[in-house]
Chain A
Amino acid sequence: MSRRTEEVLADLVADLRPVQRLAAPGWRAAGWLATAAAIVGAAVAWHGLRPDIGARLALPYEVGQWLASVATGVLAAVAAFLVALPDRSPRWALLPLPALAVWLASLGWGCFADLARMGPQALALGTSWSCLRFIIGVGLPLLGSMLWVLRHAASIRPVPVALLAGLAAAPLCSAGLSLFHHLDAALMILLWHGGAIALVTGLGGAVGRTVYTR
């Protein structure tokens, strides 16, 4: 053993203190999800549910789309807590992708359905800054909170964990937003909700590559 390795080893042994083991990743993910649900739920309650929520919940297609966005967030959170541990496979990062694919496919399909129902008007692009504001405004603190609780991952897999943290936070905000401010045209949802989710996830990745590393 080199002298320097011997010194490092001796320093670490001298520095040893008892540590509190982390809880199982499933429990930790459940804890974070409960907090996120409480925060998004409070924001929804503050805005109030949209008046036609009952009618919307009777439409299986819309309920399925909403559940896919929730599933994306939940599965991304579980994946982040797993990938953050050195002895878990990095392939867990793929866990939220099927739900994300279903959500995006349902929106894509919705665009065609709108086109058939409404004609070219379905492709009219409008602005919905409030969507962007809500998803980013609530999503970024949620992203930050997950990066904080998973800070131990910074020396192992910073970028995948930070990307998953963004993909966990933003779709949950999008699902909450849909309960009080649903856009009717699928293209608008794809543009504003999808765009905001991509932005928050991309920001997570950028943080992972820079400040979160080590």
Chain B
Amino acid sequence: MERPDGGWEALMARAQAGDARAYDALLRQVLPFLRAVCRRRLGSSTEVEEAVQDALLTIHRLRHTYDPARPLQPWLATIADRRAVDRLRRSGRRARHETVLEPLSETLAAPAANGWDHASEEQLAAKQLRDAVSGLPSSQRRALALTKLQGLSLAEASARSGLSVGALKVATHRALQTLRTRLGGGKSSR
């Protein structure tokens, strides 16, 4: 990792004073370090990148808590590690709420006898789901994405979307009801 004269500490001190060029240089230089910290907790590169983005937001919000007399690396490491742990918890929460879909239409042992293979069946199901989701009003789609796909808590989703917790609950509930009706032929069973 390239360290400029005066180090990251000097760049951060200038960023605290409002120097945008120093801030830009600092954030670009610390990215590999943030990624390395997040990679220790997370496997998928997408999740690592999302945790790094969260870490950048936290760095921005907490930049006034940094004391330039102390090394910057431990300060960055704690922030990146916390955001990676958050991602890990969210993916754990998501995994608990998701179920692997079984091919219900399969009636014969040989895949060819069922008319299409699993891949095309999954593609069809995915397309139906995508169509149903894209037909939802945008507020419901956003609520669904934050609470069910990203696995955020209601408080987190509320902070991110600007919607109240109550409004999020209602929008998520309505979105799920609509999807059940569209995908399950009007049945509201799970």
Contacts and interface: CB of A to CB of B under 8 A. Distances in A.
Contacts, number: 90
A12 B27 contact: yes
B65 A4 contact: no
B156 interface: yes
Counting chain A CB atoms within 10 Å of each CB, the highest count among B64, B70, B76 belongs to B64
A145 interface: no
Interface in B36-67: 49, 52-53, 56-67
Contact of B58 (A18, A84, A155): A155
Given A14-B20, A211-B155, 6 more contacts: A5-B31, A13-B27, A85-B67, A87-B71, A152-B65, A214-B159
Contact of A156 (B62, B63, B66): B62
A26 B18 CA distance: 26
A184 B24 CA distance: 63
B89 to A, nearest CB: 11
Interface string A1-39: 110110011001111111111101000000000000000
A85 B82 CA distance: 13
The secondary-structure label for the interface of chain B is: helix
B118 to A, nearest CB: 31
A84 B63 CA distance: 13
A24 B69 CA distance: 11
B53 A18 contact: no
